[in-house]
């Protein structure tokens, strides 16, 4: 769950395990939007000590997907410094998506050809993320997000990193 504050900084909040329920203990259907006012905890980061003014907005009926071409930017985060963990290369990631039997082929098969990856619009961006205590020891989602976003913006410009993706 991502919470956007008035100054448009993103903070990642972790939901309790399980499917969310409303005040009448009914499950909230996937795809619905939950808006609420969070009073941040003074003792735990990224936790609400209480919530109020909760509102559930039902998702609209999905549009039929036909001839959808998906342009995809994949961030290949590479931790640098004291936590230099190995990972897949950009070529390996590209092969997972675009290679024979990869994600692109699966998308095409599962959607009966109505949704396809734009192979020319596909890009893997290596994003070095300096290892800090907040990442290595605390595994802070916000710190990882901020470092990955900064790295991507330095490489492709801040205008490419707006909206829901980055």
For residue 124, give the nearest of 72, 64, 47, 51 by alpha carbon: 72
Contact (CB, 8 A) for 107 and 116 = yes
Mean pLDDT of the chain: 79
Q: Over the stretch 21-65, which tens digit does the pLDDT of each residue have?
A: 777 778 888 778 888 787 777 887 777 777 778 888 887 877 776
Summarize pLDDT for 7-23 with one digit per residue, the tens. Answer: 434 566 666 666 777 77
**Same domain flag for 85 and 135:** yes
Residue 63 lies in a domain: no
- Asked whether residue 32 falls in the same domain as residue 73, the answer is no
Residue 62 covered by a domain: no
- Asked, for residue 94, whether it belongs to a domain, the answer is yes
Domain region containing 126? 68-161
Residues 53 and 72 in one domain: no
Q: Is 79 found in the same domain as 122?
A: yes
Task: Name the domain count of the chain.
Answer: 2
- In this predicted structure, what is the pLDDT of residue 67? 82
53 and 118 assigned to the same domain: no
Count of CB atoms within 10 A of residue 147's CB?
22
User: Which one of 16, 36, 57 terminates a domain?
Assistant: 57
- Cβ contacts of residue 44 below 8 Å, gap of 6+? none
Is the model's pLDDT at 4 over the cut of 80?
no
Same domain, 36 and 94: no
Residue with more model confidence, 82 or 97: 97
Measured between alpha carbons, how far is 96 from 107 in angstroms, rounded to an integer? 12
Is 113 among the domain residues? yes
Angstrom distance (rounded) from CA 104 to CA 122: 10
Q: Is 25 left (phi over 0), alpha (psi -120 to 50) or beta?
A: left
Residues 33 and 89 in one domain: no
Domain identity same for 46 and 78: no
């Amino acid at each position: 769950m991502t919470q956007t504050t008035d100054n448009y900084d993103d903070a990642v909040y972790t939901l309790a395990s399980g499917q969310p329920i409303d005040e009448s203990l009914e499950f909230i259907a996937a795809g619905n939007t939950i808006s609420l006012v969070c009073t941040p905890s003074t003792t735990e980061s990224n936790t609400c000590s209480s919530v109020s003014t909760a509102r559930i907005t039902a998702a609209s009926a999905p549009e039929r997907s036909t001839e959808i071409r998906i342009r995809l930017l994949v961030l290949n985060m590479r931790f640098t410094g004291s936590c230099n963990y190995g990972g897949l290369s950009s070529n390996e990631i590209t092969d997972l998506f675009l290679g024979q039997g990869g994600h692109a082929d699966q998308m095409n098969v599962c959607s009966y050809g109505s949704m396809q990856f734009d192979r020319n619009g596909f890009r893997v961006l290596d994003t070095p993320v300096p290892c800090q205590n907040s990442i290595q020891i605390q595994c802070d989602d916000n710190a990882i997000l901020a470092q990955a976003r900064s790295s991507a913006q330095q490489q492709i410009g801040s205008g490419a990193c707006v909206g829901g993706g980055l």
